[in-house]
Amino acid sequence: MPFHLHFGADDLLRCRFAVSPLWETQEAVRTLARPERHGYHAHWLRRIRTAAAGLDLTPLWLLMPRRGHTPDWLGPPPIGPAAAFEEEIRAVRAADPEAAREDTARALADTPGALDSPLGRALLADPERMIGDLADLMETAWHTLVEPDWPRLRALLEADVAFHSRRLAEVGLGGLLPELDRRFVWNTGTLTIDARASHERDLSGQGLVLMPSVFSWPDVVSGFDPPWQPALVYPARGIGGLWAEPADRTHDALVRLLGRGRAAVLTALDDPTGTTALAHRLRLAPSSVSEHLAALRGAGLLTSRRYGHQVLYERTPLGMALTSGEG
């Protein structure tokens, strides 16, 4: 039962990438209740097990049917390319109560018995309280489940965006979309998505938000009814190694040439990454990593570019040759 998203000329000009800590929080909550998603996240699940046991996530799980609608007001498309969680949760708290009630009722109807359950009736009886309570619970979930690992997660998501932005420049949107996931097919202005539900939408000049996600794997998510901008969520590249501990892969010759710290930083840059994420990955002080990055960039081994609020670094061809042992 495929999704069909129809693009016009204006839509092709209004597609953008985004990273959303709010979305990752929602999907982390969903992942806790979905054993089929646990394969890539065993390390994370072990680490948060005790803290997660202290959370009552039942109200959120009630609005996350296996098949069907999850309220758009609780996890709207991101408001910018690199919005902070605090910005996104403010938008959730500002939801219109009546619209949120209708959206929530639709989600409850997709879970057998949820609409008439005591909790379901309580949510719908007082939509203003529902918005506040669920926003509070989502914020608690963020601080407990996601925020401690956000530097690592954000680095992976932004590396995905950097990679696919380059591919967009190389092959165009029609070439890029099928590369994001094998379930996407592009044909003469229509994106077809192999999904569990049927949906058809003319984008009508709004364009499309393309959003990589860590915790949504293996699912792809598309939808967001008007007035929300349409969005397409796909599994991020590289999640297989997301929770791997850093290994000493630096060549002895590279250590002798650059010093251990700079050699480790250069070797760790498999994907475009920022200072904070590198420091977290290598267990080094951000100030030390920043100094190493500046020296490596000055030597022509790295290049940098700004993405949102931070600068991402990646190897130049010379840096790649050094880390591979060539030249």
The residue-averaged pLDDT of 109-127 equals 94
Q: Which helix (H) or strand (E) holds 312?
A: strand 310-315
Q: What is the pLDDT of residue 182?
A: 87
Q: What is the pLDDT of residue 186?
A: 92
Residue 127: pLDDT above 80?
yes
DSSP string over 250-268: --HHHHHHH-HHHHHHHHH
- Burial per residue of 127-162, b for 16 or more beta-carbon CB atoms within 10 angstroms, e otherwise: beebbeebbebbbebbebbbeebbbbbbbbbbbbbb
Residue 225: pLDDT above 60?
yes
Q: What is the pLDDT of residue 131?
A: 97
The residue-averaged pLDDT of 289-311 equals 85
Report CA 309 to chain centroid distance, whole Å. Answer: 16
Q: What is the pLDDT of residue 244?
A: 67
Q: Give the chain's domains with CATH numbers.
A: 3-235 (no CATH), 252-324 (1.10.10.10)
How much of the chain, in percent, has pLDDT values that exceed 70? 94
Q: Which amino acid is at 305?
A: R
**Residues 167-181 pLDDT 10s:** 888 888 889 989 998
Contact 156, 238 (CB under 8 A): yes
Q: What is the pLDDT of residue 3?
A: 82
Helix locations, 149-273, DSSP H:
150-180, 252-258, 260-268
Q: What is the pLDDT of residue 309?
A: 66
Contact residues for 254 (Cβ-Cβ < 8 A; gap 6+): 263, 266, 267, 322, 323
Q: What is the pLDDT of residue 327?
A: 41
The residue-averaged pLDDT of 265-275 equals 84
The Cα–Cα gap between 324 and 317 comes to 11
How much of the chain, in percent, has pLDDT values that exceed 90? 39
Tokens describing residue 111: 């879970």
* Burial bucket for residue 42 (CB in 10 Å: 0-12, 13-18, 19+): exposed
Residue 245: pLDDT above 80?
no
- Say whether the peptide bond before residue 76 is cis (omega within 30 degrees of 0): no
The Cα–Cα gap between 25 and 145 comes to 7
The residue-averaged pLDDT of 188-193 equals 88
**Residues 67-85 pLDDT 10s:** 888 999 998 888 777 789 9
Q: What is the pLDDT of residue 256?
A: 85
**Residues 23-69 pLDDT 10s:** 999 999 999 999 888 888 888 999 899 999 999 999 999 999 988 88
Closest CA to 114 of 40, 62, 149, 166: 62
